[in-house]
Amino acid sequence: MRYEGRDLRPDAAHARSHTQTNRTRMTRILVTSALPYINGIKHLGNLVGSQLPSDAYARVMRQRGHEVLLICATDEHGTPTELAAAKAGKSPAEFCDEMHEVQAEIARGFRLSFDHFGRSSSRRNHRLTQHLAGRLADAGLIAEVTEKQIWSPADGRFLPDRYVEGTCPNCGYEKARGDQCENCTKQLDPTDLINPYSAISGSTDLEVRETKHLHLRQSAMRDRLSAWIESKTDWPVLTTSIAKKWLNDGDGLQDRGITRDLDWGIPVRRGEADWPGMDGKVFYVWFDAPIAYIAATAEWADATGQDDAAWQRWWRDDKGAEDVRYVEFMGKDNVPFHTLGFPVTLMGASADGDERWHLVDFIKSTNWLNYEGGKFSTSSGRGVFMDQALDILPPDYWRWWLLANIPESADTDFTWESFQAGVNKDLADVLGNFVSRVTKFCRARFGEEVPRGGAYGEMEAEVTAEIAERLKAYEAHWDAIAIRRAAAELRAIWVAGNEYLQRAEPWAVFKTDPERAAAIIRFSLNLVRLYGILSRPFVPDASDTILESLGLDPEVASKDWPKDVGEALSALSAGHAFTVPEVLFAKITDEAREEMAARFAGA
């Protein structure tokens, strides 16, 4: 079976064609999600840090008429893969084949609408990484450096960065890796660690020996990189602060090794030629992983029967990508690589002008999602991981809470009480309750079709005006990628319908003025339709259920983004048939909450 990549969009045919919607396309938007490591199933913090918000943003931009390409892939190289594969008793290739399918299935489960979910180990990424390395060498941005590296007699090999663990010299964290401290995010070399030991054997009998590696001369690009970062005045503070820290702290931007002594990875070559002295070495994962965004786009073109021009128009300014808006989503630990290393790679590869690679336009970075006051932990079973989440509750529950509480400006704490409240109060009591009350009342009094009679009045005009203003704010928040604010605005739009229903009281009005009650319910059913459209980026399954209950094709109806709210609230005319949907959201009981909290509390 071929696992090199796949389209995870619910409507694959649409994903392949990228045909025009009913609205004029205004922008081509390339969206990438930070690549999930292949070494295991990720927790909810990984989901909300990149994959989920990239999906929601891509969804809303597609609905609003933009041409969108959403790309992701599994990050399959580096020491974590070798360690995880060895632990599983498999070769790295076998392990990656298996885990790519696992992660692709989980992505489908959360309704992540990737146009292509590729692999950093693909042939395309091999060729493209080697090509860009050759371009950088031609531009004088690759240096061959003899450096000191950790040798483990017990393991009989050099130990690349992540094969060495120890105490961080910056913050004192005792389980820092040789490439980066996950506690303070400082980038490290294995020789920086205090009390280092082998992550393979645990041996502390380590030596420092000389070996030759390639370094990317980031320092040579510092001024150009700094000017580029300074020009990004709309970036989140989190993104720019991290980028400037690495540019300016200490001795400033440092050159960085891009090769490692590993068996699993992309062999070091200079384009199609051998690289003398680099036999047996592979490119470092941080160098090839971002390039996999481009390679996965090329794989998308391959998989959909298109030529190289199809992917180059998204990535190369000399091939038509100048009008693309490129947006990246990632957790804050990935920011240094995407504001420094990857841009240097693309800038350097564009040096002579015959290839001009498109740099990122906006980087949406997030802080950490913690779990009940602490960290998620695989080893102790603390916290909810993505496969477990799908086993216990529908994806919409997780999508709503995570996006409504995304850690944009500060770390966020997942608690079961907050999660229960988000599901019960927002989804069940506000959105679900409105849909249920309106459709059931209509069925009981008028039958299963939009009722005739009566006319909209002042009350409907007020609600229309309020929603029109809120819709403008909702769109503006999405344009700014302020996702928590977008979620709050959507909830307020739901609330407006509930408050209208309470004021209009169709159940009371029906007794004396059935035609006025019919107008209220007709307006309310159109609100239901509107909610189905606007809610799809957050709760796609519920949105589809709502639209299908109204006799609409969700793929078609969801793209009827309202240009005029007044027209949108008259879209369903009298006589239009509908059915009463099943309960959209079942409430989480206190007993169920307590059981889940105990189950995932950890050892």
Question: 217-226, 245-254, 365-374: lowest mean pLDDT where?
Answer: 245-254
The rounded distance, in Å, linking the Cα atoms of 178 and 192 is 8
User: Known binding site for ATP: residues?
Assistant: 378
HSE-CB of 484 using CA atoms within 13 angstroms: 10
Tokens of 266: 């992309």
The rounded distance, in Å, linking the Cα atoms of 480 and 473 is 10
What class has domain 12-135+286-394? alpha beta
- pLDDT in the model for residue 4: 43
The fold of the 414-568 domain, in CATH, is Isoleucyl-tRNA Synthetase; Domain 1 (1.10.730)
Residue 44, SS3? helix
Q: Which residues contact 152 (CB under 8 A, 6 or more apart)?
A: 158, 159, 163, 198, 200, 201, 203, 205, 206, 207
Model confidence band, residue 18 (pLDDT cutoffs 50, 70, 90) = very low
Q: Would you say 283 and 375 are in contact if contact means Cβ atoms under 8 Å apart?
A: no
The rounded distance, in Å, linking the Cα atoms of 603 and 599 is 10
- pLDDT in the model for residue 12: 41
Residue in the block written with tokens 């909830």: 491
Tens digit of each residue's pLDDT (9 = 90 or more) over 285-311: 999 999 999 999 999 999 999 999 999
The rounded distance, in Å, linking the Cα atoms of 37 and 95 is 12
What class has domain 140-257? mainly beta
DSSP label at residue 585: -
The rounded distance, in Å, linking the Cα atoms of 342 and 243 is 12
Residue 274, number of CB atoms within 10 A of its CB? 11
Please choose, from the candidates 471, 332, 428, 457, the residue with its C-alpha nearest in 3D space to the C-alpha of residue 45.
332
pTM across the whole model: 0.91
User: Known binding site for Zn(2+): residues?
Assistant: 168, 171, 181, 184
Give Dmax over CA atoms of the chain in angstroms.
Answer: 92
Q: Would you say 489 and 538 are in contact if contact means Cβ atoms under 8 Å apart?
A: no
Q: Which sequence spans correspond to the domains of the chain?
A: 12-135+286-394, 140-257, 414-568
- pLDDT in the model for residue 7: 56
Work out the average pLDDT over 342-366: 94
Length of the chain in residues, anyone?
A: 603
User: Known binding site: residues?
Assistant: 168, 171, 181, 184, 378
Q: What is the rounded radius of gyration, in angstroms, for the C-alpha atoms of the chain?
A: 26
Tens digit of each residue's pLDDT (9 = 90 or more) over 340-352: 999 999 999 998 7
CA-CA distances (angstroms) from residue 1 to 4, 156, 299?
9, 36, 16
Please choose, from the candidates 421, 433, 399, the residue with its C-alpha nearest in 3D space to the C-alpha of residue 589.
421
Work out the average pLDDT over 156-164: 83
Tokens of 568: 């949108």
